[in-house]
């Protein structure tokens, strides 16, 4: 019996149940254990004001180290680039749509404006990256922090607290979130650049659990590993996390060439530096991009 650790949000439960279904398909029994993280408990602060890293993952990783669970299921973009000693990311899901989604209230929609969003709108997001990109493309827009799980944020928009919100399309799609009555705009991840690993689920276990690691490796999307590793290596080299506006999105074409779109800033109010770079080898690719961004 594999014990699966997860947060309790609707999206986190979808991810854990998706992993459970993968286990069912190879005849492995499992149970789901729900854990509450620092990020779940602190709802009155934006991400940049919460101290430390891994505030959506630490308690789950602690349970993994204490052998209370066998596999932790995370959104990869929530995971710091270095696992705690004794833990490894042993598998990755297939990637859902990596784009961000702009959801707009009916009375804030303007066909003539960029992103179809009326002038002077209030946009809700607590992501440093999203704030910075909204500011870059629409400097007339006001930004306001928003917290809560996916349905909660959508309801806050419908209640009129914002003119629009920016949210991960993967999360909306996975839980089939109810966005009727709202206009939606899918933001191109090569322009409104995605977070490293966005749309990917990570499976984490203890380093010494060789059998579980082999099993997670078999469940992984092998084609995804190279591109996601490039994204996360850039993030690591820039010493980034939720406190900094960093976007990195990588694709690999049929010829094996890597194409990377990236942006970086010291904080969301500073100007962003954008870099697009292509290479036929992943070696030193991340280092080249990180050096160009700094």
Q: What tokens does 188 get? A: 């191109």
| CA 142 – CA 224 distance, rounded (Å) | 36
Our answer to whether residue 70 is catalytic in this structure is no
| CA 144 – CA 19 distance, rounded (Å) | 34
**Which residues, including other chains, have CB under 8 Å from residue 197's CB and lie 6 or more apart?**
75, 76, 77, 79, 228, 231, 232
CB atoms within 10 A of CB 74: 25
Q: What tokens does 106 get? A: 């009916």
Encode 123-141: b = buried (16+ Cβ within 10 Å), e = exposed.
Answer: bbbbbbbbbbbbbbebeeb
Q: Do residues 286 and 292 touch, judged by C-beta distance below 8 A?
A: no
Tell me which of 78, 100, 110, 226 is the catalytic residue.
78
Residue with tokens 């890293």: 53
Q: Which residue, among 196, 184, 186, 283, has the nearest Cα to 239 in the 3D structure?
A: 196
| CA 137 – CA 164 distance, rounded (Å) | 15
Enzyme catalytic residues:
78
């Amino acid at each position: 019996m594999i014990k699966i650790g997860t947060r309790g949000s609707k999206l986190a439960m979808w991810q854990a149940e998706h992993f459970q279904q993968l286990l069912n398909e190879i005849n492995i029994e499992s149970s789901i254990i729900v854990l509450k993280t620092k990020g779940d408990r602190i709802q009155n602060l934006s991400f940049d004001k919460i101290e430390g890293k891994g505030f959506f993952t630490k308690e789950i990783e602690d349970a993994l180290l204490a052998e209370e669970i066998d596999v932790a299921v995370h959104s990869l973009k929530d995971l710091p680039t270095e696992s705690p000693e004794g833990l490894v990311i042993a598998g990755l899901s297939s990637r859902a749509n990596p784009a961000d989604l702009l959801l707009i209230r009916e009375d804030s929609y303007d066909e003539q404006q960029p992103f179809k969003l009326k002038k002077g709108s209030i946009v809700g997001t607590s992501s440093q990256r999203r704030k910075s990109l909204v500011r870059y493309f629409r400097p007339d827009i006001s930004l306001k922090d928003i917290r809560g799980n996916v349905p909660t944020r959508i309801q806050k928009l419908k209640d009129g607290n914002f003119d629009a919100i920016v949210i991960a399309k993967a999360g909306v799609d996975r839980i089939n979130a109810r966005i009727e009555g709202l206009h939606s705009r899918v933001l191109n991840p090569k322009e409104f650049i995605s977070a490293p690993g966005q749309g990917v689920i990570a499976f984490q276990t203890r380093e010494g659990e060789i059998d579980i690691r082999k099993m997670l490796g078999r469940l992984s999307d092998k084609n995804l590993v190279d591109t996601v590793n490039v994204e996360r290596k850039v993030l690591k080299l820039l010493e980034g996390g939720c406190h900094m506006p960093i976007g990195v999105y990588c694709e690999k074409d049929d010829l094996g060439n890597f194409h990377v779109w990236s942006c970086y800033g010291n904080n969301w109010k500073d100007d962003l530096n954008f870099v697009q770079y292509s290479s036929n080898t992943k070696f030193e690719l991340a280092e080249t991009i990180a050096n160009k961004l700094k």
